[in-house]
């Protein structure tokens, strides 16, 4: 093994991203927990963690930029650093989504509690599982696990579409519930975005490990695309 210092730097970059991932994953869990148990103190935690996530985002980008400039990485190292930069951006957006959800929860807490035809906890559980699996695939460098995340996105999209349909009907038919329905709709939309970020992370892991760019591919992403393989 040579380039010991470079390898250490890559390991440190991965560690930093995992800290970021932990914060983002925790933020989304807390935000949906706040929705479930109607606890505004949890919303405060989400807001605070968003600041930490933003700071880490800058630090990780700087560390990645330094490695690109100083080490001229190639092949799998280059793909790894590129993936870290992109995953970093996705995790920051997950943090944003968590904050958006917590703000909707705050707003809803000032309104009368009502039953709405949307299962936010179930949707949140699925989106969180996608985030968790995508990050697990990153930790283990496991492209097969990452591919399983890609297959889960359709379910969250379908849940978001169903929520849109049901909640717009509530707004049409029970206009006095429109504020609550609108907040729920925005939470559903935020969770759908979280699932999209998890999908992006999984795609980046596949690119890092296999050099296969599976983005925007219609068929199930199992076989490498010969056109992207050079």
Partner 1 sequence: MGVGIEVTNLNAWYGTNHTLQEINLDIPANHATALIGPSGCGKSTFVRCINRMHETNPIARVTGTILIGGLDIYADAKPVEIRRRVGMVFQRPNPFPTMSIYDNVAAGLKLNGYSNRHVLDEVVEKSLRNSALWDEVKDDLKKKSGASLSGGQQQRLCIARALAVDPEVLLMDEPASALDPVSTSKIEDLIFQLKSQYTIVIVTHNMQQAARVAEKTGFFLNGRMVEFDSTHKIFTNPSDKRTEDYITGRFG
Which helix (H) or strand (E) segment holds residue 120: the answer is helix 120-140
Q: Which CB, 75 or 112, lies closer to partner 1?
A: 75
Q: Which CB, 141 or 211, lies closer to partner 1?
A: 211
Site string for partner 1, 73-92 (x = CB under 8 A): xxxxxxx-------------
User: Measured between alpha carbons, how far is 119 from 184 in angstroms, rounded to an integer?
Assistant: 10
204 binding partner 1? (CB under 8 A): no
Residue 146 C-beta: closest distance to partner 1, Å: 16
Q: Candidates 42-50, 71-79, 117-125, 158-166 — which segment interacts with partner 1 by CB under 8 A?
A: 71-79
Q: Candidates 11-19, 67-75, 93-101, 131-139 — which segment interacts with partner 1 by CB under 8 A?
A: 67-75
Crossing angle for the helix pair 40-71 and 75-109, to the nearest 10 degrees: 160
Site string for partner 1, 115-154 (x = CB under 8 A): ----------------------------------------
User: Measured between alpha carbons, how far is 99 from 117 in angstroms, rounded to an integer?
Assistant: 23
Q: How many residues bind partner 1 (CB under 8 A)?
A: 15
Is the sign of the CA dihedral 22, 27, 33, 39 positive or negative? positive
CA-to-CA dists, residue 212 to 22, 133, 144, angstroms: 26, 19, 12
Q: Give residues with Cβ within 8 angstroms of 26, minimum separation 6.
A: 49
Binding site for partner 1 (CB under 8 A): 1-3, 6, 72-79, 211, 229-230
């Amino acid at each position: 093994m040579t380039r010991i210092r470079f390898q250490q730097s890559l390991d440190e970059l991965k560690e930093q991203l995992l800290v970021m991932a932990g914060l983002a994953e925790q933020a989304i869990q807390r935000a949906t927990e706040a929705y479930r148990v109607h606890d505004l103190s949890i919303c405060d935690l989400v807001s605070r963690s968003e600041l930490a996530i933003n700071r880490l985002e800058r630090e990780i980008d700087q560390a990645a930029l330094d490695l690109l400039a100083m080490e001229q990485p190639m092949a799998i190292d280059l793909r790894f650093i590129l993936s870290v930069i992109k995953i970093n951006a996705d995790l920051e957006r997950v943090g944003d989504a968590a904050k958006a959800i917590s703000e909707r929860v705050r707003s809803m807490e000032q309104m009368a509690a009502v039953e709405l035809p949307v299962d936010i906890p179930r949707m949140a559980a699925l989106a969180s599982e996608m985030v968790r699996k995508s990050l697990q695939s990153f930790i283990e460098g496991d492209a097969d696990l990452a591919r399983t995340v890609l297959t889960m996105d359709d379910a969250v999209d379908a849940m978001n579409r169903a929520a849109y349909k049901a909640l717009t009907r509530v707004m049409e038919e029970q206009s006095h519930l429109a504020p609550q329905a609108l907040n729920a709709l925005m939470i559903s939309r935020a969770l759908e975005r979280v699932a999209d970020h998890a999908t992006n992370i999984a795609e980046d892991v596949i690119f890092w490990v296999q050099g296969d760019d599976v983005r925007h591919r219609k068929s199930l992403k199992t076989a490498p695309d010969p056109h992207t393989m050079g």
